[in-house]
Amino acid sequence: MAVSAVFLDRDGVINRKAPDGDYIKSWEEFAFLPGAVEAIKILNESGWKVIVVTNQRGIALGLMTEADVEEIHKKLSLEIQKHGAHIDRIYYCPHEKGSCSCRKPDIGMFLKAKEDFPELSFSSSFVVGDSSSDMEAGKSLACKLILITENSSTIDQKAGYHQAISLYTAVQKYIVTGK
């Protein structure tokens, strides 16, 4: 039986992004966006696999270590669990641009998820991100796409994706109602 997933970018979707040129390097710098934890709980309760796919170039730049990122992800998971929600798996790319096949817009992290969850169906899954690289990766896999942006919730017919102002709005307006 095919299973649907919601692939979430991390920074800018689940938590506040660092200022341009900076990275979330520790748990102390991590701050959930409003409604993000509740949105993940709604996805869980609606039967979606929740998978995080995040580029973490700060590792390649020497601004943080893989252990730092793993500690953030451990605490992120624990905090979400306190609210009765969970993330099924978190994948991250620690590489510099152009040096791997996992960094979005490449699809290596998604293919790893398919390896770990063979029942996944990309065509019935969503990619929710805040950048063109997120949308490109999802489009390559024929996933449904939602761009998190400050603009109002619409669909960009030319680009082929929905837009929402938050993960919570995306979940309520496009994902849960469309399953």
Kindly report the pTM of this predicted structure: 0.95
pLDDT in tens, 78-115: 999 999 999 999 999 999 999 999 999 999 999 999 99
Task: Give phi and psi for 128, each to the nearest 5.
Answer: -115, 120
Mean pLDDT of the region 137-146:
97
Sequence spans of domains, the chain: 5-175
The whole-number pLDDT of residue 179 equals 46
The residue among 127, 120, 131, 44 whose CA lies nearest residue 80 is: 44
Report, as an integer, the average pLDDT of 42-53. Answer: 97
The CATH superfamily label for domain 5-175 reads HAD superfamily/HAD-like (3.40.50.1000)
9 flagged as catalytic = yes
What does the pLDDT average to over 32-36?
98
Does 88 qualify as catalytic in the annotation? no
Instruction: List the 161-164 sheet strands across, edge first.
Output: 89-93, 49-55, 5-8, 126-129, 144-148, 161-164, 154-156
pLDDT value at 48 more than 60: yes
Q: What share of the chain is helix, strand, coil (3-state, %, to 5)?
A: 35, 20, 45
Q: Give the residue, 51 or 3, on which the prediction is more confident.
A: 51
What's the pLDDT at 150?
82
